[in-house]
């Protein structure tokens, strides 16, 4: 069998897997029909070139099946700031891991902050990524120095200009219309955040895949002698804290329903998990 034929077979198998899963759903708790349909119709097989943010404004073409996490790779660098890394070290820890594995460092902005015509509707924002912007403007909620977040962002922009082949930057063109948060606790699937045909948006967080990525980055740092004695548990704890801070601070997410998505015995389980926090 040729490689092309093998890829075609994998694609067909993936389609059959997703189609079967979409028909075999178990609902736990007060899950709306709108949430169920969005999950059914927007299942996708994970890809692993980079990461995207949890933002609901990625089109299917922009999202592909990339790991969705707060702030994309930039969010991991922000977490490392709290663990004592300098902005340069925090960027390099993730960037070097990506490049070493033939991948790209993922981050985003949006047209409200970085428009093509030079105008902006968010004069005080440093970035169109709400996670990055909040870590700068409400840095006390993240346990970091806001000026270090800005320095980190400037480093990222420098690399974007000089080494764009190693960066996965997307400038989102959307208004926030997210109706809830989908937390995916599986490494077999993810979910497109924006159904443009229905104009439905959901925040998506690939929790299980994110934990694996964090563990891999810590191991990579140890192998390079640059880990500063941090553990996976420490990094995961900071990421969880920062995730809660962002969900609670942003008007587009605070207080909105959260749903857990998992696979159990071949069933796709959708469960109401509570609500995002509210931080004033």
**Boundaries of every domain in the chain:** 24-275
Token digits of residue 219: 């191991």
Calculate what percentage of the chain has a pLDDT beyond 90.
92
pLDDT of residue 4 exceeding 60: no
pLDDT at position 116: 72
Calculate what percentage of the chain has a pLDDT beyond 70.
94
* Mean pLDDT (whole number) for 30-45: 97
**Cα–Cα distance measured from residue 133 to residue 240, given in angstroms and rounded to the nearest whole number:** 17
The pLDDT confidence band at residue 122, using thresholds 50, 70 and 90, is low
* Poorest-pLDDT segment among 8-17, 218-227, 270-279: 8-17
CA distances from 140 to 53, 109, 121, 144, 147 (A): 22, 22, 25, 7, 12
pLDDT of residue 222 exceeding 80: yes
* Mean pLDDT (whole number) for 149-178: 97
**Cα–Cα distance measured from residue 164 to residue 13, given in angstroms and rounded to the nearest whole number:** 34
Sign of the dihedral through C-alpha 171, 240, 48, 84: positive
The pTM (predicted TM-score) of the whole model is 0.94
pLDDT at position 10: 61
* Mean pLDDT (whole number) for 94-100: 98
Name which of 6, 34, 25 is nearest 189 in CA terms.
25
**φ, ψ at 36 (rounded to 5°):** -55, -50
* Mean pLDDT (whole number) for 16-31: 96
The pLDDT confidence band at residue 1, using thresholds 50, 70 and 90, is very low
Q: Which residues contact 257 (CB under 8 A, 6 or more apart)?
A: 180, 181, 272, 274, 275, 276
Q: How far is CA 243 from the centre of its chain?
A: 10
């Amino acid at each position: 069998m040729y490689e092309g034929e093998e890829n075609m077979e994998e694609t067909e198998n993936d389609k059959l897997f997703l189609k079967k899963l979409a028909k075999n759903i178990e609902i736990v708790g007060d899950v709306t029909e709108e949430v169920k349909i969005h999950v059914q119709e927007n299942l996708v097989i994970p890809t692993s070139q980079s990461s995207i943010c949890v933002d609901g404004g990625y089109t299917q073409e922009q999202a592909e099946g990339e790991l969705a996490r707060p702030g994309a790779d930039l969010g991991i660098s922000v977490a490392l700031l709290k663990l004592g890394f300098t902005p340069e070290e925090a960027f390099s820890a993730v960037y070097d891991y990506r490049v070493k594995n033939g991948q790209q460092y993922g981050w985003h902005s949006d047209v409200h902050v970085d428009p093509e015509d030079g105008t902006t509707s968010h004069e005080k924002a440093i970035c169109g990524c709400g996670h990055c912007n909040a870590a700068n403007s409400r840095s006390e909620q993240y346990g970091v120095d806001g000026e270090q977040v800005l320095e980190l962002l400037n480093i990222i922009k420098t690399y974007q200009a000089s080494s764009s082949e190693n960066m996965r930057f997307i400038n989102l063109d959307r208004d926030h219309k997210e109706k809830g948060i989908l937390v995916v606790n599986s490494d077999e699937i993810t979910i497109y955040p924006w159904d443009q045909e229905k104009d439905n948006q959901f925040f998506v967080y690939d929790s299980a895949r994110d934990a694996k990525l964090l563990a891999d980055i810590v191991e990579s740092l140890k192998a390079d002698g640059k880990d500063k004695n941090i553990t996976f548990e420490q990094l995961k704890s900071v990421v969880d804290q920062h995730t809660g801070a962002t969900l609670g601070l942003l008007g587009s997410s605070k207080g909105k329903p959260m749903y857990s998505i998992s696979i159990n015995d071949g069933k796709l389980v959708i469960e109401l998990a509570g609500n995002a926090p509210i931080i004033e």
